Amino acid sequence: MPEQRNQLRLVVATLVPDEVCSWLAAAEPRITLVRDPDLLPPKRYGGDHHGEPFWRRTPARQQRFEDMLSSADALYGIPDQSPELLRKIAQTNTALRWVHTMAAGGAAQIAAARLDPATLRRVAFTTSAGVHVPTLREFALFGLLAGAKNLPRLLADQSAHHWPGRWPMGQLHEQRVVVVGLGHLGRGIAQTVAALGARVSAVNRTLREVPGVDEVAPLDRLAEVARSADALVVTLPASPTTTGLVDAEVLTALRPGATVVNVGRGSAIDEQALIAALSSGHLGFAALDVTAVEPLAKDSPLWDLPNVLISPHTAALSPREDRRIAELVLENSRRLLDGRELLNRIPETDLT
C-alpha cells in the first residue's frame, strides 16, 4: 500500500495544453503542478506528446529541464519520450515516486530504460490505458464493417463507374470475431461487437470472464481459436511475448475472406505473413492503424494492396485526449496522496 502524503510535486515532462494544466492544478490543491512551456517543443496537434521533431534545447535549457525533473515527486509523462533520460532521472532523483506514461501500453518504453531493481521498487509506473478506448473502438468497428461490406469492391466499382449485378454483402452480426487481448481496449471492442450481434471469442494472457465474450483462451491457443473465424482484432501492446504472435499459422486458420484489424502494436503481427495472406486473397481485408516499423516504408506492399486500409497510427487521436489523460492523472494523484493503489499500474515483472 503506498504511503499517504500531504503534497505532491507533479512535474509536467511532456506536452500538455495550458487549459488542461490550469484545470488540473485547480482541481486538487494538494498538487503543486510544475511546468515550463519554454523547455518543451511546440505541440503539433491534439494528443501530440513528442512535439516538433527538429526542435532542440540549448545546453543551458537542457540543464534547466533536467533540474526541474530532478525536483519531482511525480512525472507527468516520460521526459522527451526518452528511456535514457528517464533512467537518469529515476535513478538519481530519490524523491521520485511515480511516473505516468501517456501511452496506453507503456511497459516496453519503461523496460527500455533498464532501471535497477531498487528503482523499480521505489517508483510506480502507470499508463493511460482506457483513455483511448472510445476512439480506437470506433476505428476497430469501422475496419470490421469495411471488411464485412467489402469496401474495396465498392470503391473499385465506384471508381470505374460500374453498376454490377446485385451481390450479397457480409453481415457483421452474423460473423464470428476473435479479439486478441482483453485489456481496456479489447474488452471495449468485444462488448461493442457483441452488442451488434456478432459472436465473440478472445485470447488473453490471463483468463477472465468478459460480458459478451463466449470463450476466452490463453494466447498460445490463438491459432486454434482463430480457426474458421470471420475476423481478427488485435489490441496487444508491444512486448517480447506478443511479437509475431499473429503469424502465418494464425492467419491461415481464419476463414477465406476474413478481416484483420490492428489497433494495438504492429509488432504483434508477422507482417510478411500478413502481406502474403492478403496478396493471395485468403484474407479479404485489413485495417491497420499500426505497422511493424513506423513510418511505413515507402516500398512496403501494404501501401498498394487494394484490400488494405492504412491509418498512420492516428486512430486514437482526439481533441479531448489530453483532458481524458489529465482526468486519469488527477485520480491517480489523489490515490497517491491518500495512500491508495494506483490505477493502471504496470506490474514490476513487466518492466524487466
- Residue 1 pLDDT exceeds 60: no
**What is the C-alpha to C-alpha distance for residues 72 and 70, in angstroms, rounded to an integer?**
6
Cα separation of the two ends of the chain: 22
pLDDT single digits (tens) 153-166: 999 999 999 999 99
User: Of 231, 294, 235, 296, which Cα lies nearest the Cα of 263?
Assistant: 235
Cell (9 digits) for 266: 504492429
Cell (9 digits) for 92: 538519481
Percent of the chain exceeding pLDDT 90 equals 89
Are 149 and 254 in a shared domain?
Answer: yes
Residue at 85 is within a domain: yes
313 is an active site residue:
yes
pTM of the complete model: 0.87
Q: Which of 265, 271, 321, 324 is catalytic?
A: 265
Residue 63: its H or E element = helix 59-69
Q: Which of 50, 205, 313, 345 is catalytic?
A: 313
- Residue 253 pLDDT exceeds 80: yes
Cell 504472435 maps to which residue? 245
Identify whether the C-beta of residue 180 lies closer than 8 Å to the C-beta of residue 232.
yes
Burial 128-153 (b: 16+ CB within 10 A, else e): bbbbbbbbbbebbbbbbebbbebbbb
Residue at 1 is within a domain: no
pLDDT single digits (tens) 254-299: 999 999 999 999 999 999 999 999 999 999 999 999 999 999 999 9
Residue at 219 is within a domain: yes
Cell 494466447 maps to which residue? 219
Are 285 and 326 in a shared domain?
Answer: no
Domain that holds residue 37: 8-130+318-351
Are 122 and 178 in a shared domain?
Answer: no
Q: What average pLDDT does the structure give for the chain?
A: 95
Q: Which of 174, 224, 294, 341 is catalytic?
A: 294
Are 300 and 329 in a shared domain?
Answer: no
265 is an active site residue:
yes
User: Of 144, 12, 141, which Cα lies nearest the Cα of 69?
Assistant: 12
Burial 73-108 (b: 16+ CB within 10 A, else e): bbbbbbbbbebebbbbbbbebeebbbbbbbbbbbbb
Residue at 306 is within a domain: yes
pLDDT single digits (tens) 199-226: 999 999 999 999 999 999 999 999 999 9
